[in-house]
Amino acid sequence: MENKKKVAVITGASSGIGLAAAKALLARGYTVYNLSRSRCPENGVVSLRCDVCSEADIAGAFAKVAEKSGGIDLLICNAGYGISGAVEFTENADAERLFEVNFFGVYKCIKSALPLLRTCENGKKAGRIIVTSSAAAVFAIPFQAFYSASKAALNSLAFALSNELSLFKIQVCAAMLGDVRTGFTDAREKTFAGDELYGGMISRSVSSMEKDERGGMSADAVGRKICRIAEKRRMPVRCTVGGKYKLFVFLSRLLPQRLQNKIIGKMYM
C-alpha cells in the first residue's frame, strides 16, 4: 500500500520563517497548510484564512484540515510579532495584544490540533509540535520585555506539554531562534515614549536590535533547520538555532545571573 503523505500545519506561513519552513516541507513531500490572515505565495501550500486570536477561525481551519487530510503529523506554531519600548510607557492594551497573539494564539492552536495529532499515526512517528521561540526567552532584552516574556512563556508551555503528551508519544520542541533577516524587523511596533527621560537608551537599544536582525541568519536557512528538527528521531524539548546563540545559552548555565544581565545590558544599551 502506498504511504500517505505527511501533513504539516504552519501558522504564519505567508512570509518569513513560516514561508521558508513551508517550502522546505513541500520539498520533503509533505502536504502543507498555512493558517494565517494572508495567503502563502508558494505554489502547493494550502492557505486557510485564520486569525490566531479567533477561536472560531482556529476551529474552522482545523476542521477543514481534518476534512481534507484526516490527522496532522506536524504542527509549527510560528505566527507572532514584536513590540518594543520601555515597560513604564507601554500601553496595557499593547502588552495584552502581544500575549494574545504570541502565547494564547499558540495555546489555542495546539488545543485544536491535538485530536488530529493523536490520530496521525503515519508510519512509526507520532505527531509533533514545534513552537517558534527565541533566545530572548533566556536572555530578556531591555526594551523588549514583553516580547521576551512571551517567548519565555512558550518555553514553559513546551516543557509542560512535553510531559503531558508523552502518553500519546507526541513530541514538543521550543525552537529558540537567534537573529533572523525577515520582515519581522520592519513590522515591530515601536514606541520611543520616554526616550529623553531614559537618556536615549530606548532608541539606542532598538537600533542595536535592528542592526543585529538585519545581519542575522536567512529565513531559508532557519526554515530548513526547523524541518531537520522535526524529522529527528527524538526532538529536543528546547533547541537553540544559530551558532553564537547556542554559545550564549550554554554560558547562561555557567555564569551568575547578575553577570548575564550585565552583559545583555552592555550589548543592547
Global pTM?
A: 0.93
E strand spans, 12-126: 31-36, 46-49, 74-77, 83-84
Distance, CA of 16 to CA of 163 (rounded, Å): 30
Quick check: 3 pLDDT over 70? Answer: no
Beta bridge partners of 134: 177
- pLDDT given at position 269: 81
CA distances from 24 to 30, 132, 169, 225 (A): 9, 16, 24, 9
Mean pLDDT of the chain, nearest integer? 93
161: left (phi over 0), alpha (psi -120 to 50) or beta: alpha
The answer to whether 133 and 155 have CB atoms below 8 angstroms apart is yes
Q: pLDDT by residue (tens digit) across 150-206?
A: 999 999 999 999 999 999 999 999 999 999 999 999 999 999 999 999 999 999 999
Smallest CA-to-CA distance from 230 within 12, 2, 78 is with: 78
Burial 251-265 (b: 16+ CB within 10 A, else e): eeeeeeeeebeeebe
- pLDDT given at position 120: 62
Smallest CA-to-CA distance from 86 within 38, 141, 137, 157 is with: 141
Quick check: 144 pLDDT over 90? Answer: yes
At 136, which helix (H) or strand (E)?
none
Q: How many CA atoms does the CB half-sphere of 83 hold within 13 Å?
A: 23
Domains and CATH numbers, the chain: 7-268 (3.40.50.720)
What residues are labeled active site? 14, 133, 147, 151
- pLDDT given at position 249: 82
Q: In what order do the strands lie in the sheet with 238-241?
A: 46-49, 31-36, 7-11, 74-77, 128-134, 171-177, 238-241
